[in-house]
């Protein structure tokens, strides 16, 4: 914001607004459009444009489109070439990636393997202030760059999941020369990537503007400009969609789905979230350090009612720590039980003395966060828990995540980045991870072993055992695996992906033209 004057920003904003005025060729009733601008509204502003400093959904929706990965995950789960055209395993622990030729950064510099090495090294750098992806690629030992078009990744132990790991956050490739030149702070405000859109401007709490990258290797996108608006309040966000001011909105709460669907120009499109909505627990704080208390808390939650009433049926009750659709999801496990009587008994057994248990929730960052928190609070009060709800602003939540200063429980929507327990549960709950509040030697041992094993049977057993430990100690209280709904104008052709990336590359997004 310092280089651009306010007048520049206002001019761009005005241009953007003018482009979406009615009167331009765009009929509200037909299902086609001529517009060249895509306007997206999401439930919160961006915090960081540096892809290694944030994994929050508001940020990854942007960073996945400014940056590319070596491999690319499609909505159907398949892994396809990204910045790497092919990759081969040589021996047990060496992966050779051939880089796509002719790829340029948004500032014109050529992509080389030095950038790949730089990106991976930086993602693992624990000294990088605010690094949120340092546990994603911890299987990597070191990266070699024999020539500008080849990157060789050596893993510490055999890691069959490495290409998949590189396909999600933590694996985004960032420009070495630019970042080292301008420094991390500027990079965070003015990112440069290789993706289908490039950065133009950002007015905090208002809008972010990106423009199409004409030289994108995957084909130029079907629009000229992408504007991302922050509309944290749900009512104005939905209203903006219904009025035609925006083309796509995220986080449509189930209560509003009907309204959006029944509107003639808009529709709802959702995907079963490739992760879980959980109440993460600060297990270091009594009485949450007592497994019996946590078991009781879990048993006191009537998840069926939450799914049926608060989500209008758009979701499933989780059975453990692994999301449906992931590898090693155990379909034989029953959904987490609701038993108020047993919950009370366990509280008694635990010696619960009425200590305050706080749910620290945002209001609108995750769909249904505040209503679910209030519902859970009432359910807990019903079994005698002194439960309180504290509403936080999204920025305060981000702060508490960084400082690990939560007082009780908070909503988290851990994404399964690999469609594998290693990519979600282990990434977050493992030692040194962002939600490292609870440790258990057997859990840790199994998690580590499963990460590096190529024996699927071994892994299946390991995760089964870990699930048992999980259900005893509840470092998370899974609540629901919901369908994440998006609201779209009918002229938008787009498949939501289960992992919140908001892919708008050519293969996934286009405007329906006449």
* Sites of contact with other proteins (CB under 8 A): 1-2, 6, 17, 129-130, 204-206, 233-236, 239, 243, 245, 255, 259, 302, 305-306, 308-310, 371, 374-375, 377-379, 381, 389, 391, 393, 395-396, 399, 402-403
CB atoms near residue 238 (< 10 Å): 25
**21/331 with CB nearer other proteins:** 21
The whole-angstrom separation of Cα 426 and Cα 449 is 11
Tell me the pairing of strands 386-392 and 356-362. parallel
Nearer to other proteins, 398 or 477 (CB): 398
Closest distance between other proteins and the C-beta of residue 255, in Å? 7
Judged by phi (left if over 0) then psi (alpha if -120 to 50, else beta), residue 354 lies in left
Q: Which is nearer to other proteins, 243 or 284 (CB)?
A: 243
Q: What is the rounded CA–CA span in Å between residue 193 and residue 337?
A: 46
Q: Among residues 231 and 466, whose Cβ is nearest to other proteins?
A: 231
The torsion angle over the Cα atoms of residues 210, 214, 220 and 221, rounded to 10 degrees, is 20
Between 152 and 203, name the residue whose CB sits nearer to other proteins.
203
Distance CA 157, CA 55 (A): 26
Residue 6 or 78 having the CB closest to other proteins: 6
Residue 386: φ, ψ to 5°:
-80, 80
Q: How far is the CB of 318 from other proteins (least distance, A)?
A: 18
Cis previous bond, 287, omega within 30: yes
Q: Which is nearer to other proteins, 395 or 495 (CB)?
A: 395
CB of 44 to other proteins, least distance (A): 12
Q: What angle do CA 429, 431, 433 make, to 5 degrees?
A: 55
DSSP one-letter string for 102-142:
T-B-TTSPBP-HHHHHHHHHHHH-TTSTT---TTTSTTEEE
Task: Please identify, using beta-carbon distances, which residue of 57 and 362 lies nearer to other proteins.
Answer: 362
The bridge status of strand 37-42 relative to strand 248-249 is parallel
Contact 173, 70 (CB under 8 A): yes
Residue whose CB is less far from other proteins, 301 or 469? 301
CB 264 to other proteins: min, Å: 15
- Cα–Cα nearest to 387, from 354, 424, 408, 358: 358
| Residue 12 C-beta: closest distance to other proteins, Å | 16
The CB-of-245 to other proteins minimum distance in angstroms stands at: 8
CB of 309 to other proteins, least distance (A): 4
- Identity of the residue, 375 or 466, whose beta carbon is nearer to other proteins in the bound complex: 375
- How far apart are CB 88 and other proteins at their closest, in Å? 40
In the complex, minimum distance from the CB of residue 183 to other proteins, in angstroms, rounded to a whole number: 14
Q: What tokens does 279 get? A: 């109440």
Phi and psi angles of residue 437, each rounded to the nearest 5 degrees, phi first: -115, -5
Closer to other proteins by Cβ: residue 396 or 514: 396
In the complex, what is the shortest distance from the CB of residue 244 to other proteins, in angstroms, rounded to a whole number?
Answer: 12
Q: What is the DSSP letter of 47?
A: -
Nearest by Cα to 511 from 488, 478, 484: 488
419's torsion region: left (phi>0), alpha (psi -120 to 50) or beta? left
CA nearest neighbour of 123 among 86, 80, 202, 70: 70
Distance CA 67, CA 104 (A): 12
**How many other CB atoms are there within 10 angstroms of residue 297's CB atom?**
27
- Which DSSP letter does residue 423 get? G
Considering the complex, what minimum distance in angstroms separates the CB of residue 395 from other proteins?
Answer: 5
């Amino acid at each position: 914001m310092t280089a651009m004057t306010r007048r520049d920003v206002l001019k761009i904003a005005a241009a953007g607004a003018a482009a979406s005025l009615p009167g331009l060729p765009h009929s509200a009733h037909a299902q086609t459009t001529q517009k060249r601008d895509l306007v997206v509204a999401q439930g919160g502003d961006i915090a960081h444009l540096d892809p290694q400093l944030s994994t929050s959904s508001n940020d990854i929706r942007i960073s996945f489109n400014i940056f590319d990965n070596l491999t690319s995950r499609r909505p159907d789960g398949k892994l396809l070439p990204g910045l790497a055209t092919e990759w081969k395993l040589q021996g047990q622990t060496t992966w050779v990636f051939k880089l796509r030729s002719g790829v340029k950064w948004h500032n014109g510099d050529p992509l080389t393997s030095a950038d790949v090495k730089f990106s991976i090294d930086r993602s693992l750098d624990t000294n990088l202030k605010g690094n949120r992806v340092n546990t994603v690629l911890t299987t990597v030992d070191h990266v070699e760059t024999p020539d500008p078009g080849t990157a060789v990744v050596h893993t510490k132990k055999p890691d069959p999941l490495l290409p998949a790991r590189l396909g999600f956050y933590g694996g985004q490739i960032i420009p070495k020369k630019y970042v080292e030149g301008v420094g991390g702070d500027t990079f965070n405000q003015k990112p440069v990537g290789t993706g289908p859109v490039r950065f133009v401007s950002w007015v905090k709490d208002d809008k972010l503007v990106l423009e199409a990258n004409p030289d994108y290797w995957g084909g130029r996108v079907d629009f000229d400009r992408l504007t991302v608006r922050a509309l944290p309040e749900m009512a104005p966000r939905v209203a903006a969609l219904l009025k035609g001011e925006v083309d796509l909105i995220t986080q449509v709460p189930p209560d509003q789905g009907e309204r959006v669907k029944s509107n003639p120009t808009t529709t709802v499109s959702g995907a079963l979230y490739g992760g879980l909505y959980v109440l993460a627990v600060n297990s270091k704080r009594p009485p949450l350090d007592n497994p019996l208390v946590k078991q009781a808390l879990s048993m006191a939650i009537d998840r069926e009612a939450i799914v049926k009433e608060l989500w209008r049926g758009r979701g499933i009750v989780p059975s453990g720590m692994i999301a449906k659709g992931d590898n090693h999801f155990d379909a034989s496990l029953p959904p987490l039980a609701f038993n108020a009587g047993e919950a009370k008994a366990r509280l008694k057994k635990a010696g619960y003395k009425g200590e305050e248990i706080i749910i620290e929730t945002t209001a609108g960052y995750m769909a249904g966060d505040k209503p679910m928190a209030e519902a859970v609070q009432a359910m807990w009060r019903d079994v005698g828990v002194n439960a309180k709800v504290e509403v936080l602003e999204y920025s305060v939540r981000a702060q508490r995540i960084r400082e690990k200063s939560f007082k009780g429980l908070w909503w988290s929507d851990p994404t399964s980045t690999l469609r594998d327990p290693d990519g979600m549960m282990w990434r977050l709950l493992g030692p040194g991870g962002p939600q490292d509040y609870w440790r258990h030697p057997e859990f840790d041992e199994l998690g580590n072993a499963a990460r590096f094993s190529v024996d699927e049977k071994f892994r299946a057993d390991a995760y089964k055992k870990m699930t048992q430990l999980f259900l005893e100690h509840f470092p998370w209280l899974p609540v629901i695996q919901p369908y994440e709904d998006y609201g779209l104008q009918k002229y938008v052709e787009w498949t939501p992906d289960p992992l919140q990336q908001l892919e708008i590359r050519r293969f996934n997004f286009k405007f329906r033209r006449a």
